[in-house]
Amino acid sequence: MIIVSDTSPINNLAAINQLDLLQQIYGTIIIPEAVYRELIDTSFPVAGAIEVQTLDWIQIRQISDQTMLELLRMELDPGEAEAIVLALEIGADQVLIDEHRGRIIAARLKLNYTGILGILIESKRRGLIVAVKPLLDALIHQAGFWVTDALYNRVIELAGE
């Protein structure tokens, strides 16, 4: 399975010490250079920065379609734009992306996608975690991940909690 990730799933899962869920579900994760830079080129420590530099199951790839990238950069940040372009270029089975606008564009381009909440639900379904709620709460309170009340309740319902 070919999986391309944007910054958010890596950063937020690392922030709550659950980054290994990505490897357990998908094996290898591929990130574009812009996602790598968003994690390591900061003036302050960012969750996931060390991991993208050291974990061998996170691979960095360069994109080639600069025309498509420039079109997407009109609407998306660099990491999202490169993740979508890379997913298209390598025929990814799924792109991991949380931002609403990025998901709309991914869907328009016929890419399968999921985000961190879908990853948590899948992790529970596979028995990798006991419960979604404590991790969802940690995302909100520790990582600053924003979730509406309606979405929070829907995720808990989907997780059967």
Averaged pLDDT, groups of 10, the chain, 161 residues long: 95 96 97 95 84 94 94 93 97 96 95 96 96 96 92 95 93
Number of H helices, E strands in the chain: 10, 5
Residue 154 to residues 89, 132, 151, Cα–Cα distance (Å): 33, 12, 5
Question: What's residue 38's pLDDT?
Answer: 92
Question: What's residue 24's pLDDT?
Answer: 97
Q: What phi and psi, each to the nearest 5 degrees, are found at residue 60?
A: -105, 130
Residue 69 lies in a domain: yes
Residue 31 lies in a domain: yes
Contact assessment for residue 97 and residue 11, using Cβ atoms and an 8 Å cutoff: no
Question: What's residue 88's pLDDT?
Answer: 97
Q: How many domains does the chain have?
A: 1
Query: Residue 63's domain is classified under what CATH number?
Result: 3.40.50.1010
Q: What angle do CA 119, 124, 128 make, to 5 degrees?
A: 95
